[in-house]
Amino acid sequence: MTDRAVAVVRAGALTTVQDLGRAGYAHLGVPRSGALDPAAVRLVNRLVGNAGTAAVLETTVTGCALRPRCAVTVAVGGAPCPVRVDGRPAAWGTAVRVAAGAVLEIGAAVRGLRSYVALGGGIEVAPVLGSRSTDLLSGLGPEPLADGTVLPLGADTAVRGPVDAPPWPGPPDTLVLRLRLGPRDDWFTPAALRTLATRAYRVSGASNRIGLRLEGPPLERAEPGELASEGMVLGAVQVPPDGLPVVFLADHPTTGGYPVVGVVAEADLGAAAQAVPGAAVRFVPTR
């Protein structure tokens, strides 16, 4: 019987199993989690013939290396990176057949931060609350990959056809985030809101799957008091006491006590997940 599994040769800086997340449990204190760049996940899954909801690997900066125990079709997308099979260059952004026992090397990201690796049949770790995603905040789902980890694969029954969308080539030089103001924009001075709309920020190296932390001009509060904890949503821009905005990403907490000046359009968060430390960020307020 074929051993449908893949062994981790090199786990990289942070490689996790991700799908499209476990939506619908925020009232229980469970974040959505899931891939930070869901469009990239859907695309690599299409390339190998998986359903868009199949679990993939999300790498961070340094990539990873895998040894499938069976022949498998793979595709690497998201942040552009070199791909090799047994030391020979292979294509990024398209389906590649990898023989059993060969080493698939996903190299360091050339642009962006996070690459995505789809394998035919999908990663079939046990789902938790309907998702196979690793949630770094709550600890739900499988542990981040370690060298020697063996991951089961689902049955590869796909019929592959052409894909009509090219792989995303990487993040823009300046990340533009559409921002719907509220619910607590009235906790900030008019000057602070002008600053948010007109000044540039930069991505902090302290950013992670929980939030995109920004460096730049602090936002001055009009209200000196404190809020009771409120529900938090994906894309919420929370402003802690230092005045520097934090854009909540997939592993964000479901409640928080700092005021939320606005919420970033969900369609813009995939690019936010690929923004490297030092990248320029601008907010465009909308109503």
Q: Return the pLDDT at 132.
A: 98
The larger pLDDT score, comparing residue 43 to residue 164, is at 43
The token duo for 161 is 């056809």
> What pLDDT, in 10s, does the model give residues 46-82?
999 999 999 999 999 999 999 999 999 999 999 999 9
Which ranges in the chain are annotated with CATH 2.40.100.10? 174-286
pLDDT above 70 (res 268): yes
The per-residue pLDDT of the chain, averaged, comes to: 94
pLDDT above 50 (res 216): yes
251: Cβ contacts below 8 Å, ≥ 6 apart: 31, 33, 135, 136, 137, 138, 208, 209, 210
pLDDT above 70 (res 127): yes
Q: Return the pLDDT at 226.
A: 87
Phi-psi region for residue 225, left (φ > 0), alpha (ψ -120 to 50) or beta?
beta
Q: Return the pLDDT at 184.
A: 97
Q: Return the pLDDT at 163.
A: 65
The token duo for 105 is 């090397």
Q: Return the pLDDT at 104.
A: 98
Q: Return the pLDDT at 1.
A: 42
Q: Return the pLDDT at 227.
A: 92
pLDDT above 90 (res 35): yes
pLDDT-derived band at 8 (thresholds 50, 70, 90) equals: very high
Q: Return the pLDDT at 2.
A: 61
Q: Return the pLDDT at 160.
A: 65
Q: How large a percentage of the chain has pLDDT more than 90?
A: 89
> What pLDDT, in 10s, does the model give residues 158-202?
666 666 665 666 678 899 999 999 999 999 999 999 999 999 999
Quote the distance between the C-alpha of residue 192 and its chain's center: 29
Q: How many CB atoms lie within 10 A of CB 218?
A: 15
Asked which of 25-34, 144-153, 273-282 is least confident by mean pLDDT, the reply is 25-34
Residue 6 φ/ψ, nearest 5 degrees: -135, 135
The residue type of 128 is: V
Select from 2.60.34.10, 3.40.30.10, 2.40.100.10, 1.10.260.40 the CATH code of 174-286.
2.40.100.10
